[in-house]
Chains A and B, each alone.
Chain A
């Protein structure tokens, strides 16, 4: 069942995802009507690109750490904005061959989140063409929820 006051926030290491969070803190600050799940999607380094196992393990640890730090920082920002701790939680999931956008939307469907919040990287047309965009994937695949794209 989809619940409107269950909010899913997609976070990465980039600045725009923090902007999305600041906006959320501004809107929800002080209220205790919503549950917020902060989600970071971890993409393990590709063995084809990083064949050396030691190097790959270092890179993996580095990426995980960056995401964990971001989740901690985001949690703290929402606590500062006077959201109750019992309404806040974080999760780090591995993409497992899926793209970040797919993972976010799978998570949304499984957890019954009524609202999905993402930032926007302001990609150029060329970048969007070659690499795709998480926010547009989220917007285009959402069927039963509300999406906030914070630009």
Chain B
């Protein structure tokens, strides 16, 4: 039985628990800029109430609205969704001194969502085709915060981090690595591996990958960009922040003399990867994994499995935390 306009408005307000000025039922998402709070998306017989737009979570760009990503509520159960609408863009992504041609691909994200269904290390979602054939991705919102927000909020010095938390953190990271290895095994790539694309789930603290829509023209090394991202996340976790030369100059100038260019990332040459020079208590095995991402590395990892193989025994060398629960 088709509900009248008034019915829809009442249902939407009930779902939201708040009044709405205006409620519209929309099927076509091509003009995604025009969709706003109060619009109800009707797709494949399901309905989603748009409650707002998502904002750029990236460091320093907090205020930018992303008009192609809407926040929404599912009419069927009131659950929170993020709805990604089709927005093609193509641009040169600066990575250190290099630029990489980058394409946003809804098709890639939809395919990966199918592939990772039921895998707790990945965000979950489904794809609806709207009447214009747009691939609308409806994502379950992972309840939690991004890894960087989570870790940056901790007030701990590095030694306390190392003694109390690093081991369980890296055990979780190992799960994230295995998840990416699975993706690569299926011939797919994440495409945008960064510490803010891992969400820490509120319920069981597991790490969940989000955001699969970046694609690149790949060259000889099909997984090079993903591995680069994984190296950065590892360094971030082990160092509780990736130390830059500038920070070291300010905070511990005496260690600056110990460093040379071989200790830095070849791609972003102000990031220090030889963390043992800063934190001498790090096990050699762990530092060796990090050094695969440093400029002095004779060879780089080409596959995630190689990284996992080295990281697993390195984690075993870390102190067991006294307290069980970790953030």
Contacts and interface: CB of A to CB of B under 8 A. Distances in A.
A133 B97 CA distance: 18
Interface string A111-133: 00000000000001111111111
Contacts of A133: 220-221
A47 B98 CA distance: 24
B222 A99 contact: yes
Contacts of B267: 126, 129-130
B220 A99 contact: yes
A53 interface: no
B103 A49 contact: yes
A105 B164 CA distance: 49
B103 A48 contact: yes
Given A101-B220, A125-B295, A134-B220, A48 B108 contact: yes
B105 A49 contact: yes
A101 B267 CA distance: 23
B48 interface: no
A48 B214 CA distance: 9
Given A126-B266, A126-B267, A131-B224, A51 B107 contact: yes
A129 B107 contact: no
Nearest to B216: A49
A125 B266 contact: yes
Contacts of B88: 51
Given A49-B215, A99-B220, A129 B105 contact: no
Contacts of A125: 266, 295
A97 B218 CA distance: 11
A96 B103 CA distance: 21
Interface in A40-59: 46-51
Contacts of B295: 125
A9 B154 CA distance: 56
A19 interface: no
Interface in B167-211: 187
Contacts of A132: 219-222, 224, 302
Nearest to B223: A132
A137 to B, nearest CB: 6
Contacts of A100: 220
B96 interface: yes
B225 A130 contact: yes
Contacts of B187: 97
A124 to B, nearest CB: 8
B122 interface: no
Given A99-B220, A101-B220, A129 B300 contact: yes
A47 B107 contact: yes
Interface string B259-280: 0000000110000000000000
Given A97-B187, A129-B266, A130-B228, 16 more contacts: A48-B215, A49-B90, A49-B105, A51-B88, A51-B107, A99-B219, A99-B221, A99-B222, A101-B220, A126-B96, A130-B221, A131-B221, A131-B224, A132-B220, A132-B224, A132-B302
Interface of A: 46-51, 97, 99-101, 124-134, 137
19 contacts: A46-B218, A48-B215, A49-B215, A50-B103, A51-B105, A99-B219, A99-B220, A99-B222, A100-B220, A126-B97, A126-B98, A129-B266, A129-B267, A130-B228, A130-B267, A131-B220, A132-B219, A132-B221, A132-B224
